[in-house]
Structure 1
Amino acid sequence: MVETDSTVRTERETPSPPAPPEGYDEPKLFEYPTLMLLLVSIPLFLFTAYGFGWLLWQIQGPEVFATLFSVTETEDSTVVVLDMIDVGLPLVVALFVTVVVHELIHGTVMHYYGQDVTYGVNPAMGAFYAAAFGQFQRREQLFPIGLAPLVSIAVVATPFLAVPVSSIAVTAYMVVVINTTGAVGDLYVVWRLRRMPEGTLLYDVDLRHMYVFEPLDVGA
């Protein structure tokens, strides 16, 4: 096989995993199915937006949305006008909570398990991250690590839907919707982990390369 420049460059850019620990098989690259996750995130967003929107409506009544937009009806049409300030501020706060607090919770749980956590921002991926680079992580630890932001942010934010201040209630609504939709990757990891044998190890080389080490004596 003749190696082209692109082949050599790809091989150089793909970091190698460590040698498998004693009793473990050779590592396998863990990959995210980006297109599938994007498609799954759409119904997840719609379901969450509708479900929590219905809950917000039941608690606050339709007047909670009155500060966000106005509706003007004429003989010929109905015009809906969004207030960009009242919509934009809750959205910015919700994005901050989702992007930053979400990863801080990941990192807190990692630290609880004794892992050295690296926080950072990757502009190319548009992501703030918390990761335990260069460390083996046990499958059983990754369940709480993966689910902690989804569960804890939902538990904390949901009661704020009942706060009788529309801007706060709407911000909480956006937090829950954005955080739940953004957790689709975490949910995928948890789903994959459930299909792996107990004792499986995961190893992050960098943001794009995660390897799976499965024990050799599975089913023995």
Structure 2
Amino acid sequence: MRGSFISLILSLLAWSVRASSATPSCSTTQLCPKDYPCCFEGSCGTGTYCLGGCDPLMSYSPGACTPKPMGHDRTYTWPDLQRATLNTKYLGDASTLDWEYTGSPNVTDNHVVLTMPKNSTGTLMSSTQYIWYGGIATDIKSSRGQGVVTAFILMSDVKDEIDFEWASTWNATSNRYQYPQTPSRMQLSLWPAGRAGSAQGTIDWAGGDIDWNSAGIQDQGYYSASFANITVR
């Protein structure tokens, strides 16, 4: 189903990039110290480390991470990106911002478009609110080309994950229901599984090495995947 719209009905998220190698590391056997209490993606810190993605099980204490804004019934629309911001600028106000992101998303015809320019790491958008039970529906136009992966993810801060990915090797599978065990954020992603330096098994799974000189790159300057309105119930 490369390049075609795929209707999804899910039952419930997330991941982003913020960590620095200059701070202490954290794991299930090595919690963060008091001075850098919040664990994010394996590194300890303060401030934004304590927001979305902060792992309470690896932090100095479960209370080190900020309370998680809980979602509610709604439909996310894409007239523009006024309710989204770079993850480095997100300060925890989930009432005015619905998404934080890395990379370069844009909006075209009321669809959010995730872009992946040549030799980049793509785009990742994470919702600022969390959901636990319910259903999610959206339309996705996946990207095309070997090594390019479009993903819709439900990820909790303790890495309780439901992951739907479309690569050039996509095959239809049977419908199924899945339920995370902890509140999760939604994530929309376009990433280069077939880039140089990836594990060979990952490259093979994604269909091969990315062609950074493909027609799509030549025509518009990037690979892309788009998401229509997202409804949460």
The TM-score with structure 2 as length reference comes to 0.24
Greater helix fraction, Structure 1 or Structure 2: 1
Q: Which has the higher contact order (CA 8 A, sep 6+)?
A: 1
The TM-score with structure 1 as length reference comes to 0.24
Greater strand fraction, Structure 1 or Structure 2: 2
Specify the structure having the higher radius of gyration (Cα). Answer: 1
